[in-house]
Amino acid sequence: MKFRDGMWLAAEGKRLEYAEEVYSLAEKEDGNGLSLFCPTRKIHNRSDSLNLSTLTIDIEAPFDGALSVETTHWLGALNLGPHFELFPAEKPEGKVNIQKAEKSTTISSGSIAATVKTADHDFDIKFHATDGSKELTSLLNRSVGFAYSPATSSPMQLADMRKLDHYIFTQTTLSVGESVHGLGERFGAFNKVGQAITLWNADGGTSSDQAYKNVPFWISSRGYGIFIDTPDKVELEVGSERCSRVQTSVLGQRLKWYIIYGPSPKEILQKYSILTGNPGKVPSWSFGLWLSTSFTTNYDESTVNSFLDGMKGRDIPVEVFHFDCFWMKAFHWCDFVFDSEMFPDPKAQIARLKSSGLVKKVCVWVNPYLGQASPVFKLAARKGYLLKRKNGDVFQWDLWQTGMGIIDFTNPEAAHGTWTDFGERIPSQDVQWFDSSLDPKKMHNYYAFIYNKIVYEALQDRFGKNEAVLFARSATAGTQRFPLQWGGDCESTPEAMAESIRGGLSLGLCGYSFWSVDIGGFEGYPPPWIYKRWVAFGLLCSHSRLHGSNSFRVPWTVDDDDTTDQGCSKILSKWTALKARLMPYIFSQAQQSVKLGIPLSLRAMCLEFPDDPTSWYLDRQFMFGDSLLVAPIFEESGKVEFYLPKGHWTNFFSGETKQGPAWFKETHEFDTLPFYVRENSILVLGKPGETKTVYDYSSDVEVRLYHTTPGTTTTLVDSTGDEIGVLEIGESGKLTDQSVLQGNWSVTSHPGE
């Protein structure tokens, strides 16, 4: 939301007041911070203190490397929940240091500090490295304030606030060349500078400024991140109102955010995960290929079997089969009852599927709504399991399912339990939650957290702590704890594939390790070339799923069963097999990603190469773990342009070596793309011909050494994620200890000796 009309005027209908000076400063009673008293006018004499508003700014040191900043106008305003679950593991002990000088006071929290100017009637708060090595950002003149809408002309109008909106805002400075990234799964430009962004979950597809996953966290290329501590609607002007500032505003009386100093983006994410939680672990089988029935297609047991038989006959192993919405009767979503006409004996059908060996796991689609036509609706309404209107009626509308109600997860008895679709269209007006202490507006975004948490924990209770897997569409801060997420409804176009990549990159920079996409696009009928380009990209995401809307995504339906080497079936078979061979590397990297709170894939290039300015603008390529670079192709011709940072890079397929930093152009058939291995990498692969994702990752493997130097290491894990050993390059250039390797293993060097 813009509050000004250019530099000089307030926006029409807005009245603005700013913190003009730090009149007084006091240490907090617990010794953990400062409280700043900031009038909205400079105080030169006693009479200046009358008939004016003030702002209180509290700066605290929650843990080393982070500071919290809370700005409040009226302290007596209620601060209703829900609130984010912060420090879900434990809150680490921090060390605060406060130093007062003649004209300023500095509070430090480990590596980060804030210096507050306390003289000359100025308002100036600078955030910087404690050792003085780097300035991060600042709150300067007219950067902290509040606004009334409509504009008031007399203080007497504030006697009745029911017809006034009260916003509070802060503006942190943007330095020359600084870029901003994250804020959830956003499909627009990767660098958010110049954009106005509203954090409000919505089902808008991947071609708009709306997002399914709004996360109030962003990373700056200057080495810091900011987490906005509210699930409420947040509006940001990222260099789009004041070109040199990021403005954050909320409707209310207080605004709190944390500033986290890395200085590297990996360190920022690691510290952010202290606040909101580390990603959950996912089982090794989940990295295999998932196949869906698609959305509005007709299918029954014979259709499902024909899909799986067809995939097996084309050497395309399927790990998980997904039953989409119409496993239930139309209008009955979501009552968890199979459509008896299409599936007369679902339990026996699923048992036959698994015993046949065609598929290892079965997944079903759910959403948090309940159609009125389902017999379960009356039961749920009677027991108070559905969200209500303020007059006591069940909240219903005809959006998605006729007369549908919304499960009220604030009622403990309503929580039940896997593809967790939807969860974005949660009303914020004329609603009354079972827990009446909650703010309906904050519940709109927060609903995604409790929805995914309840289903995830139900799966954990049933299958085990590290065996739960979601395919979630809605998210907010903290839902990285309940993996995994997928990109939502994209079109079957190269532009939509690029949108999806930008979305995955942005979400990864908010602490999400695992992400997927509908291969081939969800909407429309992908032509064969798009399907095949998307297959190559999709099998190099952390998780890989074939899913569509009104058409099947099995390869032979896309290209009339082209059986040539460049046909859809052979291409899908090759990329699926490649991912299976990569599993020793993938699953080891997955454990590290969870530990650090960083993305496995899609990992933005700036996470691995933060000192390369180009890496902060690369939105058509990504890293898969710390060693593999992927550049998807968006042209039918196979032409592609990509960037390699400094160092030696080896083509995974050909062994050709290139030297960065530089841009390169290549042309590829459908069975390759720019897939480069970083120097100083030890890449462990399953044996040639391996097609399973779950096997012994230390036996019969191929170990590839890429421009390695003494001290280079890689960690081997087993198929449950437990460490089984470390491979290290010694002074001789050879592996020092090979005892962890079993069976018929081999070692090859790139470049060859």
Residue for token digits 């989409």? Answer: 324
642 within 8 A of 621, measured Cβ to Cβ: yes
Q: Starting at the edge strand that comes first in sequence, how are the strands of the sheet with 702-706 ordered?
A: 681-685, 702-706, 746-750
Identity of the amino acid at 735: L
Closest to 62 (Cα-Cα) out of 81, 24, 90: 90
Please give the structure tokens belonging to residue 637: 């011709």
Helix or strand (DSSP H, E) at 683:
strand 681-685
CA distances from 718 to 365, 436, 583, 740, 751 (A): 30, 48, 10, 11, 28
Q: Which strand ranges, in their side-by-side order, compose the sheet holding 165-173?
A: 15-18, 144-149, 165-173, 245-251, 234-238, 195-199
* Pairing mode, strands 9-10 and 702-706: unpaired
Token pair, residue 22, equals 């730090």
Q: Provide the token pair at 429.
A: 């007006």
One-letter amino acid at 440 equals P
Q: CA-to-CA distance for 48 and 118, rounded, in angstroms? A: 18
CA dihedral 73, 74, 75, 78 (to 10 degrees): -120
CA-CA-CA-CA dihedral for 655, 660, 664, 666, to nearest 10:
10
Joined together, the tokens standing for residue 735 give 């592996």
Please state, as a whole number, how many other Cβ atoms lie within 10 Å of the Cβ of residue 419: 23
Degrees to nearest 5, angle at CA 85 with 81 and 89 = 160
Cα–Cα distance, 97 to 99 (Å, whole number): 7
Burial class, 436, CB count within 10 angstroms (exposed 0-12 / middle 13-18 / buried 19+): exposed
Catalytic residues: 421, 424, 489
Decide if 235 contacts 183 (C-beta within 8 A).
Answer: no
**475/185 Cα distance (integer angstroms):** 9
- As a whole number of angstroms, the distance between CA 597 and CA 599 comes to 7
The Cα 256–Cα 275 span in angstroms is 14
* Residue 565 DSSP symbol: T
* Helix 568-581 × helix 583-596 angle, to 10°: 60
Q: Which one, of 415, 425, 383, 401, lies nearest residue 328 by Cα?
A: 401
Peptide bond into 599 cis (omega under 30): no
CA 447 to each of CA 184, 232, 482, 490: distance values in angstroms, whole numbers, following the listed order: 16, 11, 14, 23
CA 294 to CA 522: how far, in whole Å?
9
Give the span between the Cα atoms of 312 and 379, in whole angstroms: 43
Beta bridge partners of 617: none
28-52 burial, b if ≥16 CB within 10 A, otherwise e?
Answer: eeeebbbbbebbbbebeeeeeeeee
Structure tokens at 719: 């198929």
Question: How far is the C-alpha of 17 from the C-alpha of 20, rounded, in Å?
Answer: 9
Residue 702 has which token pair? 């191929």
Integer-rounded Cα radius of gyration of the chain = 27
Measuring CA to CA, how many Å separate 462 from each of 347, 367, 373, 466, 468?
17, 19, 29, 11, 9
Q: How many CB atoms lie within 10 A of CB 752?
A: 6
Report which residue type is found at 85: E
The pair of three-digit structure tokens given for residue 570, joined into one six-digit string: 């052979």
